[in-house]
Structure 1
């Protein structure tokens, strides 16, 4: 859904960029280290907390963290994006058809083709103490989603094509890894073309429009062929941004050329390389882990300078004068 964030999460702990990781939607994920330290990384717009018998430590995302045995990481709710990633150092997941991804509808990949459930154990490598962070988190772009028209835009009336590019659509609650249904103005098919086509290829980003006229954007687990006309295709640089939108969020579409789409893809790849190059140790000069500082005991005691404890620090004559300004030492001599 968000391949760049997956790569960033893996880079934060030194995994290969295409190593398997946990993708979660909405939030509420909890993982616990059992017998040995576990190093993991958080990518996405959410907060988290490490909980143990000794207390609770809050964390921001876009960083790595090491869990000691018995500690648990609680991931908060995702906002405004609905996708988050948890990468684990040295994760070991068997591959099927060349991939470790889970495709639950067909029972393929991952752990026996099933969603992760409470109590599932993952085999991972032992974590180290070094932790890293992104110096600058990825920016959330709110510009219109760019598309290439077609391949069947001619199946729609001119008014519908103009409407698609000018009106606002909203992500509906019918959104998952397969596709995202959009609420908004209905798009009408041309009467001489009909509402179906001979099934042909689809790709992630294909925007199908069935007979009822509401667009459906195919996502990572979308089918590879379909019989609904496709009014447009989301460019690869913008598809992750669209896929991460939560129900209720509003979007607009804008058409671009193939050349512009290629330039956008190269620019997106360059931004990812720059972000990975900007990963720094949490202990780097000028980089403060504020959450760790808040949790640390930075003050072990206080001293009242106006009430010195003579049993520990015997007062000097000067200190006695300062503490007792009316003593004879500081008073003027009496005249006799």
Structure 2
């Protein structure tokens, strides 16, 4: 089963849940910016949650299907259509041979994910299909998709085949959808929960207050490496030398200009800027759905709160997994 790219969109790459186990060698994790949406998309087509899928950003691609294919689209709303007809999101859909799937610009959220039953047939590099463009590894030839690219989908597993059974027409099947609202917030004004960072106490009192009382704007210089913010300037109580040390997804660093940078999926493995905070894991997918110009307010969270919210969302995903499995058994 193959798919041909007619137009690549602004940025369309193959991503999974990331390239773990090699950070000590300077190899970044990469992976989906919104892992919840990627996981749900894969579940909806009967794949393993961590299978490779397409991540599309702000303005989407168009592609033609050269065989019938089971897909699911999750994440932000980029106005997807099949042969000009609006496509439902957050549910399995069938695309007939010769049909064209087309996206426009984002009207909700920032990033959408397309999962294909059987996954995307590209080689794994260091255990992952994720694309890291700066190093030219993973995904489709280590780069974003381009016009004329053709990729293949893998063989359907039993769960995919059960979901695929007895289909005749796109509008007559699988009318149910996943309620994603408890997992991902697509609004462009958000409250993001943050734990105090290792250098929080080395910032002056005014900056500590400003972090949780001020409003920040996501700038157009943000990318998969980091979300760059503009707002109240944050200052250290005194200058000091900081050795580079490990950072992770959601680490909030403060460079010399005092404007926060939140490290994202393509973050470096270590960083030398002071770390004022850490976005809790459960809020990272929502953070990834913000477009330039979005407004962010930070709210302090405890480690216990962060753990509880993480576990709560994992329980929601498990319920979705069970529900999709039962739907497949019913077909």
Range class of TM-score, shorter chain: 0.7 to 0.9
Q: Does 1:86 align with 2:86?
A: no
TM-fit CA distance, 1:248: 0.9
Query: 2: CA distance between counterparts of 1:110 and 1:226?
Result: 26
Task: Show the counterpart of 1:40.
Answer: 71
Pick from 200, 204, 209 the counterpart of residue 157 of structure 1. Answer: 204
Task: Show the counterpart of 1:209.
Answer: 254
Q: Is the Cα contact below 8 Å between 1:81 and 1:246 reproduced in 2?
A: yes
Whichever of the two has the greater Rg, that structure is 1
After alignment, is 95-104 or 264-273 more displaced?
Answer: 264-273
Q: Does 1:259 align with 2:259?
A: no
Task: Show the counterpart of 2:44.
Answer: 12
Where structure 2 has 5 or more consecutive residues not aligned to the other structure, the ranges are: 1-32, 157-163, 168-172
Q: Is the Cα contact below 8 Å between 2:91 and 2:177 reproduced in 1?
A: no
Aligned pairs for 1:135-174 within 5 A:
135-139=177-181, 140-141=184-185, 144-174=191-221
Task: Show the counterpart of 1:62.
Answer: 90
Sort the Cα spacing of 1:101 and 1:136 in 2 relative to 1 into closer, same or farther, 3 A: closer
Aligned pairs for 1:1-336 within 5 A:
1-34=33-66, 36-46=67-77, 47-51=79-83, 56-90=84-118, 91-125=120-154, 128=164, 130=167, 132=174, 134-139=176-181, 140-141=184-185, 144-191=191-238, 193-194=239-240, 196-279=241-324
Query: 1: CA distance between counterparts of 2:258 and 2:70?
Result: 47
Other structure's SS at 1:82 match: strand
TM score, norm. by length of structure 1: 0.77
Q: Deviations over 1:291-317 (max 9, x none)?
A: xxxxxxxxxxxxxxxxxxxxxxxxxxx
After the TM superposition, list the runs of 4 or more consecutive aligned residues in structure 1 that deviate by more than 6 angstroms.
none
TM-fit CA distance, 1:189: 1.6
Where structure 1 has 5 or more consecutive residues not aligned to the other structure, the ranges are: 285-336
After alignment, is 64-73 or 128-137 more displaced?
Answer: 128-137
TM-fit CA distance, 1:177: 0.8
Other structure's SS at 1:104 match: coil
Instruction: Quote the RMSD (CA, aligned, Å).
Output: 2.2
Q: Deviations over 1:98-146 (max 9, x none)?
A: 1000000011111221111111111114784645465343115466211
Query: 2: CA distance between counterparts of 1:39 and 1:231?
Result: 44
Query: 2: CA distance between counterparts of 1:48 and 1:249?
Result: 22
Q: Is the Cα contact below 8 Å between 2:76 and 2:289 reproduced in 1?
A: no
TM-fit CA distance, 1:239: 1.3
Q: Deviations over 1:263-308 (max 9, x none)?
A: 11101111222333444869x9xxxxxxxxxxxxxxxxxxxxxxxx
Q: Is the Cα contact below 8 Å between 1:45 and 1:61 reproduced in 2?
A: no
Query: 2: CA distance between counterparts of 1:101 and 1:157?
Result: 40
Other structure's SS at 2:70 match: strand
Q: Is the Cα contact below 8 Å between 1:44 and 1:78 reproduced in 2?
A: no
Query: 2: CA distance between counterparts of 1:266 and 1:31?
Result: 37
Query: 1: CA distance between counterparts of 2:256 and 2:48?
Result: 44
